[in-house]
Each structure stands twice: as C-alpha cells, then as structure tokens.
C-alpha cells in the first residue's frame, strides 16, 4: 500500500485548459494537463469517496499515470484541492468540491502587487523567485503571454500582457477574410523571414516579432538587474525556447525552462503554513 498521507492536488485554471499537480507533502509527484471538465464531471468528482475513485476520475486519459498511482486508500475525505484560477466562471464550478481552497492574491507574500494582478502570475513569480532567487522575471507563454518581474526585495516591479502565440494565429484567421488558421503542430524549424506564401508569412510575422519582443523585454530586465534571473513557463515555452536557441543563443543559455512555476508558488504557500 502506498502512502496516502499528506496528498494534495494543485489545480491551475488557465484560459485554455486545466493544469494538475499531485503532491505528497512538498514533493510534486505528477503533473498533467486536461481540457476544462463539464459541470457534471466536476459534480461526480466531488462525490467520490476515496482517493482512488478521485484519481480514476481525473486521470481518465492517462492510463499509465493512473496505474502507477493507484493507491489503496480508506474511504475517508478527499485530498485538499488547492486552486489558482484566472477564469472566474471555472472557479465557480469547482466550489462544490468538499475540500477546496482557492488561493487569492493576498495569500502570496509578494510585495507591492496591484489588486487585479493575475494569481497565476503572482504564484509563478513567487515560486520562481523562492526556488532560483530574486530578482526574477517570469515569462508565461500561455493563452496570453505575460512578463512579470520582482526585485531583490521580492517587490513586484511590474510586467506586460500580450496575446500568446495561439491567440495571435487564431485572431488573424478569425478577423480576416483570407487568412488561414496556421496550425502550430506543423512547425518544425524557423520560417523564412521574407516569406513567399501566406502561411509562412503569418508564421514569420508572428514568430520573429514575438522573439524580438521577448528579447527586448529580457534585455530591458537585464539593464535594470544585470544579475536578474529569467524563467519561462506555459504551453508554448518549449517552442519559444527552441527558437531562442536558434536565433539568440546567448539569451537561451540564461533562461530557466520550468513548466511548474505556479505549483512551486503554491507549494511555498501551502508548506509555509505547516
Ligand atoms: N494540448 C494543448 N492544448 C492547448 N494548448 C496547447 C496544447 N499544447 C500546447 N499548447 C499551447 O499552449 C498555449 C496555451 O498555454 P497554456 O499554458 O496551456 O495555457 P493556459 O495556462 O493559459 O490555459 C497555446 O498557445 C498552445 O499553443
Ligand atoms: C494575463 C492572464 C490573462 C494570463 O492568463 P493565461 O493566459 O495564463 O491563462 C491572467 O494572468 C489574468 O487574467 N491577469 C489579470 C490581469 C493582470 O494580471 O494584470
Ligand atoms: K498561466
């Protein structure tokens, strides 16, 4: 029988999907992503009697993980679910879970935050800074692409928000009469910059402009904090990191590539409370 004590679930609700983390105490054992769940499925989850039942329900497509993780647990209470959400309508659906805790901005020890700062940004920055040190700039290449920085005193310096890669491609095809939707799965290498077909012209415009913009933010960060760290997370992190290795290797070599920064922040907060 595997140890079921101190198990808790982290759930980061983003604008595209759900990001899950299964913790034992301070150890993050597994992470996985799912689509949003329908209300009926969340209701069923909340009715589960054992951890096994719960894991069977939330790992429906992750057979390997599910089998690895099958636990023999007594029918007691469900594990705590710690939620960081930037989608209020999704947060509302999860309120029926019996042992839920919604992390709010006032629980993140980051100083000088503004009231509407996204909890994902605050947690990722806190987690990154606590793990790798401050000053820290976090780039989240998610639905939106964000920059969020804090200085050596763990004070928010500020940041920026722009449409993420997927959103840039989607909006071009949705808001024009002739532009196709460019599938990012098809991306292999960098497009030619001066392209001679529509699809590649879209790729070139979005990707080269984004890379140059990110480089500019990072360089501005290093002007402020020459020893400042930079970490990148989010669904498009690997694609962007690989492009950076091709075009701006000096920047890529200083980037911390880490998908679980928000979970690092959650863990800091949950564990500091004992
Ligand atoms: N299976 C996937 N589903 C959705 N987006 C994905 C997937 N794999 C990679 N992505 C990329 O991740 C980006 C969304 O980032 P993610 O961090 O998952 O979003 P959020 O946290 O905002 O929900 C999209 O631009 C998309 O290109
Ligand atoms: C900027 C965001 C939309 C990013 O969300 P994501 O793309 O990661 O799903 C989210 O952090 C948010 O709604 N922030 C509130 C505004 C702010 O941070 O200033
Ligand atoms: K995010």
CA distance between the termini of the chain: 26
- If one residue of 16, 89, 240, 265 were mutated to test the ligand 1 pocket, choosing by the most ligand atoms within 8 A of its CB, it would be 16
Point out the ligand 1 atom lying closest to the alpha carbon of residue 165. 25
Whether ligand 2 lies within 6 angstroms of the CB of 118 is answered as: yes
Contacting residues for 95 by C-beta, under 8 A, at least 6 apart: none
92 lines ligand 2 (CB under 6 A): no
Whether 143 lines ligand 1, by a CB cut-off of 6 Å, is yes
Distance 253 CA to ligand 3 centre (A): 23
d(CA 189, CA 57): 38
User: Is 104 one of the annotated binding-site residues?
Assistant: no
Please tell me whether 64 is known to bind a ligand. no
DSSP string for 106-131: GGS--BS--TT--HHHHHHHHHHHHH
Q: Is the pLDDT of residue 86 over 60?
A: yes
ipTM above 0.90, yes or no: yes
Model confidence pLDDT, tens digit, residues 170-221: 999 999 999 999 998 778 789 999 999 999 999 999 999 999 999 999 999 9
Q: What digits encode the pLDDT tens for the residues 114-171?
A: 999 999 999 999 999 999 999 999 999 999 999 999 999 999 999 999 999 999 999 9
Kindly indicate the confidence band of residue 107, based on its pLDDT and cuts at 50, 70 and 90: very high
What is the percent of the chain with per-residue pLDDT over 90, rounded to a whole number?
Answer: 79
Reported as a pLDDT band with limits 50, 70 and 90, residue 66 is low
pLDDT higher than threshold 80 for residue 69? no
- pTM (2 d.p.): 0.95
The catalytic residue positions are 120
| Strand order, beta sheet including 7-13 | 27-34, 18-24, 7-13, 81-85, 100-102
Supply the pLDDT for residue 246.
94
**Residue 35 labeled ligand binder:** no
Going by C-alpha positions, the residue among 189, 195, 197 that lies closest to residue 243 is 189
């Amino acid at each position: 029988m595997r140890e079921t004590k101190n198990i808790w679930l982290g759930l980061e609700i983003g604008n595209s999907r759900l990001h899950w983390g299964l913790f034992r105490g301070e150890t993050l054992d597994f992470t996985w992503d799912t689509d949003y769940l329908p209300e009926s499925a969340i209701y069923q989850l909340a009715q589960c009697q054992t951890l096994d039942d719960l894991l069977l329900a939330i790992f429906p497509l992750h057979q390997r993980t599910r089998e690895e993780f099958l636990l023999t647990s007594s029918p007691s209470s469900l594990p705590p679910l710690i939620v960081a959400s930037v989608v209020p309508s999704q947060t509302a659906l999860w309120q029926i879970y019996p042992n839920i805790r919604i992390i709010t901005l006032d629980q993140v020890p980051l100083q000088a935050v503004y009231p509407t700062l996204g909890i994902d940004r605050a947690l990722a920055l806190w987690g990154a800074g606590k793990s790798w040190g401050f000053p820290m700039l976090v780039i989240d290449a998610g639905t939106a692409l964000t920059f969020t920085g804090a200085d050596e005193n763990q004070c928010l310096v500020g940041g920026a928000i722009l449409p993420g890669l997927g959103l840039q491609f989607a909006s071009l095809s949705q808001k024009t009469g002739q532009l196709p939707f460019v599938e990012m799965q098809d991306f292999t290498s960098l497009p030619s910059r001066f392209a001679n077909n529509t699809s590649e012209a879209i790729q070139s415009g979005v990707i080269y402009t984004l890379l140059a913009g990110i480089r500019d933010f990072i360089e501005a960060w290093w002007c402020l904090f020459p020893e400042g760290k930079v970490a990148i997370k989010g669904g498009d992190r690997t694609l962007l990191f690989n492009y950076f290795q091709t075009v701006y290797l000096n920047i890529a070599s200083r980037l911390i590539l880490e998908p679980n920064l928000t979970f690092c922040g959650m863990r800091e907060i949950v564990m500091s409370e004992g």
